[in-house]
Chains A and B, each alone.
Chain A
Amino acid sequence: MDKKCELYMPVAGEVIPLEEANNYLKDDLLGGMGLCIIPDGDLFFAPVSGEVVLVSETLNAVAISTKDQLTILIHLGLDTAKLGGRGFASYVKEGDYVTVGDKLLYMDRDYVELQAKITTPMIITTPDKVKEMNINYKATGAFVKFVEISL
Chain B
Amino acid sequence: MVSKDVAVKNPTGLHARPATLLVKKASSFKSDVSVEYNGKKANVKSLIGVLSLGVTKGATITVIASGEDEEVACEEVAKLIETLEE
Contact = CB atoms under 8 A, between A and B. Distances in A.
Contacts, number: 70
A33 B54 contact: yes
Given A53-B17, A54-B16, A81 B54 contact: no
Contacts of B51: 32, 63, 73, 75, 123, 125
Most chain-A CB neighbours within 10 Å: which of B16, B20, B23, B49? B16
Interface residues of A, number: 28
Q: How large is the interface on B (under 10, 10 to 19, 20 to 34, 35 or more residues)?
A: 10 to 19
A128 B54 contact: yes
A10 interface: no
Interface in A79-133: 81, 121, 123-128
Interface of B: 15-17, 19-20, 23, 40-43, 46-49, 51-54, 56
28 contacts: A18-B52, A27-B43, A28-B43, A28-B48, A28-B49, A30-B52, A31-B40, A31-B52, A31-B53, A32-B53, A32-B54, A53-B15, A53-B17, A61-B47, A61-B48, A63-B15, A63-B16, A71-B16, A73-B51, A75-B48, A75-B51, A81-B46, A123-B48, A123-B52, A124-B54, A125-B51, A126-B54, A128-B54
Interface of A: 18, 27-34, 53-54, 56-57, 61, 63, 65, 71, 73, 75, 78, 81, 121, 123-128
